[in-house]
Amino acid sequence: MSQPIVDPRTLPDDDRLFAPEEEMELNFGPQHPSTHGVLRLKLKVDGERILDCYPIIGYLHRGTEKLFELHPFFQNVPHTDRMDYVAAATNNLAYVGAVEKLVGLVVPPRARYIRTILAELQRISSHLLWLATHAIDIGAMTPFFYCFRERELILDLFEQYCGARLTLNCMRPGGLPHDLPVGWTDRCRTFCEAFPPRVDEYEGLLTDNRIWKKRTVGIGVLAPEVAIDYGITGPMLRGSGIDWDLRKVAPYEAYGEVEFDVPLGKNGDTYDRYLVRMEEMRQANRIVLQCLEKLPEGPVMAKRPRVLKSAKESEVYHGIEGPKGEIGFYIVGDGTPQPYRCHVRAPSFINLQVVPEMSKGALIADLVAIVGTTDIVLGEVDR
């Protein structure tokens, strides 16, 4: 039933809607309801069919990587909040992990478990936001409100832990700023027990919906080889059937001590990526419950010097499995309390590069689905 993806430029002239000289150039964004921020896509269209697509980025560039060089290691955590602003906890985790490797700090077990809980809750909330916007892009309005209902509960949990809902700043090199407040684990467990039926509810609205399937099956197909060539990570890669999850491949924090499955897609289309992310939410929920069960006692901060200093000419890369893919920090130290250079491997930026590849020959309505399924956050793309 789905539209075969063909490059219309290869079609004979009779099959084209307009003569080649009547191609239209269309600016899709930066102010457009479904470009998820300030992405600008310069399109060349033949009627509604996309001939070419050039993503233009930089509208949200704030020079974050330069800012990293100006502040001591522990003051840089808030900058990471503002990159992928819907998944602050995983950004924090990747950054503090890199600093810990650079300086050589060992994190106490309780802190590792709490970090895992926070990161997985963040994964759920990020995927909920993705589902909400993806569904509304395709025209289904109601899942948006259902997803935000549950996301609020997660944000409440974050607020009870660190006082912030979005820009969390909830981790420090060496551990956590403070222990969990009294009763937090119970509230978190209540949420985790109530959550799986809610996922079933979203799936009930979408998974077997004929229109939803028509709009997603066979749309934006990403072949496994192409995905690897572009360096795609995260659910985008797993949707194409490649089993690569840093939580399994190179376990960090408490991931080596919990059980979870890595869902994989088959066809690499928008529908498969949807299914992968839905299952990831369930698995994340499972990880949180296990961590709550096993949560050890003890301190949440390592013994560390008041001022963290890197060794001269040291460098480190630390990547973790964020909600959108591998988020990694490459930090070069020069013996001062500040990083000499800090580069971010931002999954949104790298995943965005494949959008032109996926959208060539598709219709404008498909482009919206493709941008949605890529799950980009422009704060991270532009940094």
Partner 1 sequence: MIALTAPLALFDPLRHAVGDDLFYWAVSPAIKILVLVFLGILPVITYLVLAERKILGFIQARVGPNRVGPWGLLQPIADVMKLLVKEDTLPIQAVKWAFILAPCLVVAPALIIFAVIPMGPRAAGGKLAWYVTDVNTGVLVVLALATIGVYGLIIGGWSSNNKFSLMGGLRSAAQMISYEVPQGLALVGPLMLAGTLSLVGIVEAQAKAGWWYLFPQLVAFFIYLVAGVAESNRNPFDLPEAESELVAGFHTEYSGMRFALFFLGEYANMIVISAVATTVFLGGWLPPFPHLLPFLHVVPGIIWFFLKVVVFLFAYIWFRGTFPRYRFDQLMDLGWKWMIPLALLNIFATGLIKLLLAHHP
Q: How many helices (H) and strands (E) does the chain have?
A: 15, 6
3 binds partner 1 (CB under 8 A): yes
Measured from the CB of residue 139, what is the shortest distance to partner 1 in angstroms? 3
26 binds partner 1 (CB under 8 A): yes
Alpha carbons 328 and 314: distance in angstroms, whole number: 17
199 binds partner 1 (CB under 8 A): no
137 binds partner 1 (CB under 8 A): yes
Alpha carbons 375 and 128: distance in angstroms, whole number: 11
Measured from the CB of residue 118, what is the shortest distance to partner 1 in angstroms? 27
- Please identify, using beta-carbon distances, which residue of 102 and 206 lies nearer to partner 1: 206
22 binds partner 1 (CB under 8 A): no
Measured from the CB of residue 71, what is the shortest distance to partner 1 in angstroms? 39
User: What's the one-letter identity of residue 166?
Assistant: L
Identify the DSSP state of 311.
Answer: P
Alpha carbons 364 and 48: distance in angstroms, whole number: 6
- Classify residue 208 as exposed, middle or buried by CB count within 10 Å of its CB (0-12, 13-18, 19+): exposed
User: What's the one-letter identity of residue 273?
Assistant: R
Measured from the CB of residue 194, what is the shortest distance to partner 1 in angstroms? 14
Determine contact, residues 206/114, Cβ cutoff 8 Å: no
Task: Look at the chain and count its residues.
Answer: 383
Q: What are phi and psi of 146, to 5 degrees?
A: -65, -45
Annotate 131-157 with DSSP letters as a single string: HHHHHHHTT--HHHHHHHHHHHHHHHH
**What would the x/- binding string for partner 1 be over residues 263 to 302, using CB under 8 A?**
----------------------------------------
Measured from the CB of residue 149, what is the shortest distance to partner 1 in angstroms? 6
Query: What tokens were used for 85?
Result: 């602003």
Which residue do the tokens 């498909």 mark?
A: 366
5 binds partner 1 (CB under 8 A): no
Options 27-35, 67-75, 93-101, 288-296: segment touching partner 1 (CB under 8 A): 27-35
Per CB under 8 A, contacts with partner 1 among 357-376 are 363-366, 368
Q: Which of 160, 185, 209, 336 binds partner 1 (CB under 8 A)?
A: 209
| Rg (the chain; Cα; Å) | 21
Q: Which of 83, 117, 129, 135 binds partner 1 (CB under 8 A)?
A: 135
- Please identify, using beta-carbon distances, which residue of 48 and 357 lies nearer to partner 1: 48
Q: What are phi and psi of 212, to 5 degrees?
A: -60, -45
33 binds partner 1 (CB under 8 A): yes
Alpha carbons 86 and 165: distance in angstroms, whole number: 10
Identify the DSSP state of 15.
Answer: G
Q: How far is CA 226 from CA 219, 223, 229, in A?
A: 15, 5, 5
- Please identify, using beta-carbon distances, which residue of 212 and 252 lies nearer to partner 1: 212
Query: What tokens were used for 303?
Result: 């013994």
Per CB under 8 A, contacts with partner 1 among 143-172 are 144-146, 149
204 binds partner 1 (CB under 8 A): no
Options 29-37, 98-106, 303-311, 318-326: segment touching partner 1 (CB under 8 A): 29-37
Options 30-38, 99-107, 169-177, 324-332: segment touching partner 1 (CB under 8 A): 30-38
Task: State whether residue 106 is helix, strand or coil.
Answer: coil
Number of residues that bind partner 1 (CB under 8 A): 31
Contact residues toward partner 1 (CB under 8 A) are 3, 24, 26, 32-34, 48, 135-142, 144-146, 149, 205-206, 209, 211-212, 214-215, 363-366, 368
